[in-house]
Structure 1
C-alpha cells in the first residue's frame, strides 16, 4: 500500500523524500511500517544504513518493515542518482532483489532518464513468460503504460 502510494506521488512530480513521507500518511501513524519510513528518512544522510541495521537486528531478512526502512533510506539518500540508489540499497543487504527492484521502479517514476548503462546491455528489450507476449522493448512498455494511465 505505502509503496503504491509513493509511486503515485512520485509519478505526479512529488520529490522522492516527500513522496515517502506523504505515503506514510496512508497507513496508521503508530504502525511499524510508518516508523520504518521515518527511520529511513532520518537516516538518509548517513553513508551506511547502520541505524536501520541496529534497529532491526534479528528481524527476518525478508520482513516488510526492515526492508521498507532500507528502501526509504537508499531511495532518498541518492535521489539524483539511479545507480547509487539501487547500489546502496542492495549493498544494505536483506531482501536485495526485491529492494533493488522497488527502488529502481520508484526512481524510474521520477520521469528522469535511466542511464544508458543500465539498459543498453540488454538492448532495451525484455522477455516475459506471459502467453502471447514473449518480448517487449522498453519503449513499447512505456507507451502501453502511458496509455493505461491516461
Structure 2
C-alpha cells in the first residue's frame, strides 16, 4: 500500500497519481553507463537514484495534493484543495518536445508543492484544477 493510500482520511479518495517522465531516470542510466569505466563504483549512485525515484509519490485526492519523498525517512508536501490559488506549468524547449515539465501549486501560506519532471504536465494541471474547482 502506498503512502497516499495509507494517509487517506474518512471520505477521502485518490483522484489521480502522477507518474514521472522517463527523463527523470536519465541520471540513474548515466550512473549505470559510467559503471563500466569506473569498475562498478557508480552502481551505488545508480541504486540511490533508483530508490529515490521508486519511493516518490505524487498525486491528488478529493481533499488535497500530495508529494511524498524519501527512501528511509519520509518528507511530504501537502496542500488542501481549498488553499490552492494557482497551478503553474514550467516547461522548457526539451520539455515541450518530449512531454515533461514542472507543475507548481501555489496556495495560501508559505510553501508550494512542486512536481518536478512530471509526465504530461498539462494533464496534471487539468486534473488538479478539475478536482479543486468542480463544475456544478
Q: Do both proteins adopt the same fold according to a TM-score greater than 0.5, normalized to the shorter chain?
A: no
Report the TM-score, using the length of structure 1 for normalisation: 0.28
When normalised by structure 2's length, the TM-score is 0.30
**CA radius of gyration, larger in:** 2
Higher relative contact order (CA 8 A, sep 6+): 2
Of Structure 1 and Structure 2, which has the larger fraction of its residues in strand? 2
